[in-house]
Structure formats: structure tokens, C-alpha cells
């Protein structure tokens, strides 16, 4: 699993630590270290994490990039991810068409001089 930042709690204060996901897994039992997960995360996060199934192989942690097939980070691959995200944020079309269509239809059919 990839290295990442984990936000933890100490006496109600948030603490930012850089640890590996493998620190949250017991290598002998191949189960989550529930006590460690509970000490680092908020209750709703604990429930989410503990519901993630673990692999029986428990491979070593490694840094990966899902932005391209090689798994290597590049500015180009990051650019394409950002462009893809921005494209999904654009307003989509509606099956009912343009809601302004009746207005435009009336406007273009008005009997007025071509120049005002």
C-alpha cells in the first residue's frame, strides 16, 4: 500500500504523521491493528478503514502513481488527470434540452427591425 499522511489524535489535537499503511496491519495475523487505527483516526474513519479487506499476501509498501500505465509520476500525467477532473465538473447536457429554448425561439421570431 502507498505511503501517505495520516492524521491522528492526541488529547483531542490533530497530529500529522508520515507513516506507512503497513504500520496499521499485524503481519502475523494479517489483520488490522484495531487499537492503532482507533488511536490515529476519528470514529467514522475507523469504521471505513476496518471495512477495507486486507490481502493475504501483504506485499511491501511502495509509492505508486495511478496517472499512467507505468506507475511513474510525470507532470504530463498529472496534467491529464487535472484536465479529466475539470471536464467532469463542466455542466452536462439535459435530456430535456436547453431550458431557454422557448425564449430564444420567441425572440428570433419577433417581427422587429434587424438593427436597433
pLDDT tens-digit readout, 47-104: 999 999 998 776 776 777 888 888 888 888 888 888 888 777 665 555 566 677 788 7
Half-sphere exposure of 18 (CA within 13 A, CB side): 1
What pLDDT is recorded for position 33? 96
Query: pTM here?
Result: 0.43
- Across the chain, what does the average pLDDT equal? 77
Any idea where the domains of the chain sit in the sequence?
4-50
Q: Are 32 and 54 in contact (CB under 8 A)?
A: yes
What pLDDT is recorded for position 11? 36
Amino acid at each position: 500500500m502507498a505511503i501517505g499522511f495520516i492524521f491522528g489524535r492526541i488529547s483531542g489535537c490533530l497530529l500529522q504523521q508520515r507513516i506507512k499503511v503497513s504500520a496499521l496491519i499485524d503481519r502475523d495475523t494479517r489483520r488490522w491493528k484495531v487499537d492503532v487505527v482507533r488511536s490515529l483516526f476519528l470514529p467514522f474513519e475507523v469504521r471505513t478503514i476496518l471495512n477495507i479487506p486486507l490481502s493475504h499476501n501483504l506485499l511491501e509498501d511502495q509509492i505508486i502513481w495511478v496517472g499512467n500505465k507505468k506507475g511513474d509520476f510525470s507532470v504530463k500525467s498529472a496534467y491529464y488527470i487535472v484536465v479529466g477532473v475539470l471536464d467532469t465538473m463542466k455542466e452536462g447536457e439535459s435530456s430535456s434540452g436547453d431550458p431557454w429554448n422557448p425564449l430564444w425561439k420567441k425572440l428570433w421570431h419577433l417581427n422587429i427591425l434587424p438593427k436597433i
